[in-house]
């Protein structure tokens, strides 16, 4: 019995020593963690979470498993669906065209794009994260702003960041062409 207590005491002492000898956190630790863990996001190049581009509405609804707002308008084949918890459609929405899931749009800092990009980042940081895959086009409506497009590593989808005139990301979207490149959404 004494040997068990001795072993536990040694184990506790070793744990305590490891804590005391651990390297202190660098002074800029907050900066080091400023970029979110891209693996923790549900955003993917081929969809969002369990939702995959190309799913029909019924398969999408089953995979989502929750309430959604939005439906096609008469005479239109393109429309958005939003989770019930979304207060502003510009914050988060799923695009459907021809009865298929084709894109999702994000305008909030609560979501992280595949690869780590997010709303609020500057264009230089986006270019640093995605490298040579970034192509840039001038924004259609905002002077000095741009669209930063990143082709998916595999497949035919893409990620598009929209920036303001100061080069800050204001929103982003992931989808399949041609829908991912629609600048007015379904407009």
| 65 contacts: CB under 8 Å, gap ≥ 6 | none
What's the pLDDT at 176?
97
Q: Is 75 left (phi over 0), alpha (psi -120 to 50) or beta?
A: left
Backbone angles phi, psi at 41, to 5 degrees: -85, 155
In a domain? residue 84: yes
What's the pLDDT at 48?
97
In a domain? residue 82: yes
How far is residue 121's CA from residue 111's CA, in Å, rounded to a whole number? 12
What's the pLDDT at 72?
79
In a domain? residue 69: yes
In a domain? residue 20: no
In a domain? residue 89: yes
What's the pLDDT at 94?
97
Q: What is the pTM of this model?
A: 0.78
Check residue 179 and report its DSSP letter: G
In a domain? residue 24: no
Residue 131 structural domain: 38-181
How far is residue 36's CA from residue 75's CA, in Å, rounded to a whole number? 41
Task: Answer for the pair 38, 116: CB distance below 8 angstroms, yes or no.
Answer: yes
> Strands across the sheet with 43-44, in order?
43-44, 47-48, 51-52
Q: Give how far Cα 46 sits from Cα of 32, 53, 155, 159, Å.
A: 28, 6, 8, 10
In a domain? residue 115: yes
What's the pLDDT at 75?
79
Task: Tell me the CATH number at 107.
Answer: 2.60.460
What's the pLDDT at 89?
87
E strands in the chain: 43-44, 47-48, 51-52, 68-69, 78-83, 92-97, 100-106, 134-138, 146-151, 158-163, 169-175
Q: Total structural domains in the chain?
A: 1
Q: pLDDT 10s per residue in the chain (187 long)?
A: 444 333 333 333 333 333 333 333 333 333 333 444 445 689 999 999 999 999 999 999 999 999 999 987 887 899 999 999 999 889 999 999 999 999 999 999 999 999 999 999 999 999 999 999 999 999 999 999 999 999 999 879 999 999 999 999 999 999 999 999 999 999 7
Radius of gyration of the chain, Cα coordinates, nearest whole angstrom: 22
Task: Answer for the pair 60, 48: CB distance below 8 angstroms, yes or no.
Answer: no
Residue 7 burial by Cβ neighbours in a 10 Å radius (0-12, 13-18, 19+): exposed
In a domain? residue 27: no
């Amino acid at each position: 019995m004494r040997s068990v207590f001795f072993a536990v005491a040694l184990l506790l002492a070793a744990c305590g020593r490891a804590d005391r000898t651990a390297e202190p956190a660098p002074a800029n630790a907050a900066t080091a963690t400023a970029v979110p863990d891209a693996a923790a996001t549900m955003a993917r190049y081929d969809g969002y979470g369990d939702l995959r581009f190309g799913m029909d509405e019924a398969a999408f609804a089953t995979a989502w498993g929750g309430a959604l707002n939005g439906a096609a308008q008469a005479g239109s084949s393109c429309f958005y669906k939003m989770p019930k918890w979304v207060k502003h459609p510009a914050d988060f929405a799923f695009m459907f065209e021809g009865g298929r899931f084709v894109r999702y749009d994000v305008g909030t800092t609560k979501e992280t794009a595949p690869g780590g990009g997010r709303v609020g980042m500057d264009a230089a940081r986006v270019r640093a994260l995605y490298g040579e895959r970034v192509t840039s086009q001038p924004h259609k409506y905002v002077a000095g702003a741009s669209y930063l497009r990143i082709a998916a590593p595999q497949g035919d989808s893409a990620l598009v960041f929209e920036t303001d005139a100061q080069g800050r990301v204001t929103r982003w979207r992931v989808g399949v062409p041609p829908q991912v490149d629609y600048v007015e959404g379904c407009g």
